[in-house]
């Protein structure tokens, strides 16, 4: 799962993270605690079952910093 991080250096590869689930009227979104990065919106059928994962990549591009997290599902 990909998350958007606003500032560099908050997370690095290998970090173990926990996420908090937020609910919108037709989607879920996830935040890496404590508010380090936020996911896009996911439909109800793609709900995360695990709330812990490991950072596998941190990428910087022209739009910002993106963190990839692998979950055991």
Fold of 2-71: OB fold (Dihydrolipoamide Acetyltransferase, E2P) (2.40.50)
53: tokens are 């994962």
**pLDDT digit string (tens) for 12-53?**
999 999 999 999 999 999 999 999 999 999 999 999 999 999
- Report the predicted TM-score, pTM, of the whole model to 2 decimal places: 0.90
Query: Which residues have a Cβ under 8 Å from the Cβ of 48 and sit 6 or more positions away?
Result: 1, 19, 21, 28, 30, 42, 71, 73
In whole angstroms, give the CA distance from residue 50 to residue 59: 23
């Amino acid at each position: 799962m990909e998350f958007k991080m606003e500032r560099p250096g908050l997370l690095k590869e290998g970090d173990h993270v926990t996420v908090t689930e937020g609910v919108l009227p037709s989607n879920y979104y996830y935040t890496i605690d404590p508010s380090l990065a936020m996911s896009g919106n996911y439909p109800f059928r793609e709900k995360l079952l695990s709330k812990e994962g490991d950072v596998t990549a941190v990428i910087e591009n022209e739009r910002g910093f993106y963190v990839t997290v692998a979950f055991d599902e």
